[in-house]
Amino acid sequence: MAQEIKHDGHRDRMRERILTNGISSLQNHEILEYLLFAFIPRKNTNDIAHALINKFGSLSAVLNADESALLEVDGMTKNAALFLSTLPEVFRVYLKDVDAKKLNLSGRGVVRRFLCAELYGLPVEQVVAVALDGKDQLIAVEKLASGDGAGVQVGVRDIVSFAIKHKAVAITIAHNHPSGKTSPSQADVDLTADAYATLENIGVKLQDHYIFSGANYYSFEESGRLTKIATMKKNINKTFKEGMTIYD
């Protein structure tokens, strides 16, 4: 009985810390400990939280683990494992719901938040695209490709087909890097350049290509890289036209 009183007092003190300073004042293992309170009422969830962090390496890795892997940790219950494994999806739904009424995606920040919500917390790479009309109203959002842990493959044809199918005036594409790095690879740069040029030829504007890792991101438009791609294409077209004039 004495052990239970001490245990209950610890939980009460943690709840008081959260009420006073917010959950961000807790360390990562303490956040896990708190999340497990409701699902493991009669055990020391501090020990279980430490065991989870030790097994998976980080709080985010714990939440990205599947239910069966979580159940391998001593003390975990089926309900607790199901709850933790579904939290990333809850976060994505929450972020999408925050902007649910903002179907007009005009503005850099609105589009970025919308796409971040689509990709937030995914354990493997995925490529998504949004199609917009002439007033920046959302026409469609689709997952174009999903990876297997070693990356993701998507072609310009997939992007162009998406734009044509939805009669888009403009599109924005995005993918995630679960590794934590947002810097683009050479393949990312080449895909963006090829997609920009091909889409422009059919009258569709590529507004941006985002790379997300959690809430961090890289923007081809904000970095100036998309402008360089556009300038390069214009110079190529100009050179080609001048060459044709001389030949004629």
What are the extents of the domains in the chain? 2-93, 101-243
State how far the Cα of 7 lies from the Cα of 43, in Å rounded to an integer: 8
Query: Hey, what are 230's tokens?
Result: 């556009």
67 vs 3, which has greater pLDDT? 67
State how far the Cα of 159 lies from the Cα of 127, in Å rounded to an integer: 10
Secondary structure of residue 160 in the 3-state scheme: helix
State how far the Cα of 195 lies from the Cα of 172, in Å rounded to an integer: 11
What's the distance, CA 220 to chain centroid?
16
Sign of CA dihedral 7, 13, 19, 23: negative
Q: Tell me what the pLDDT averaged over the chain comes to.
A: 84
Q: pLDDT digits over 45-90, tens only?
A: 999 999 999 999 999 899 989 999 999 999 999 999 999 999 988 8
Report pLDDT for 3: 42
What phi, psi does 126 have (nearest 5°)?
-135, 150
Name the CATH code of domain 101-243 (choices 3.40.50.720, 3.10.20.740, 3.40.190.10, 3.40.140.10): 3.40.140.10
Q: pLDDT digits over 98-112, tens only?
A: 655 545 666 667 888
**Least-confidence region, from 1-15, 35-49, 70-84, 141-155:** 1-15
Q: Kindly state the DSSP code that residue 185 receives in the 8-state scheme.
A: P
Residue 146 has pLDDT above 50, yes or no: yes
246 vs 118, which has greater pLDDT? 118
Which residues have C-beta within 8 Å of that of residue 15, sequence separation ≥ 6? 34
Do the Cβ atoms of 26 and 18 come closer than 8 Å?
yes
State how far the Cα of 12 lies from the Cα of 4, in Å rounded to an integer: 12
Report pLDDT for 6: 47
- Tell me the percentage of the chain whose pLDDT exceeds 70: 83
Stretch (H or E) spanning 52: helix 45-56
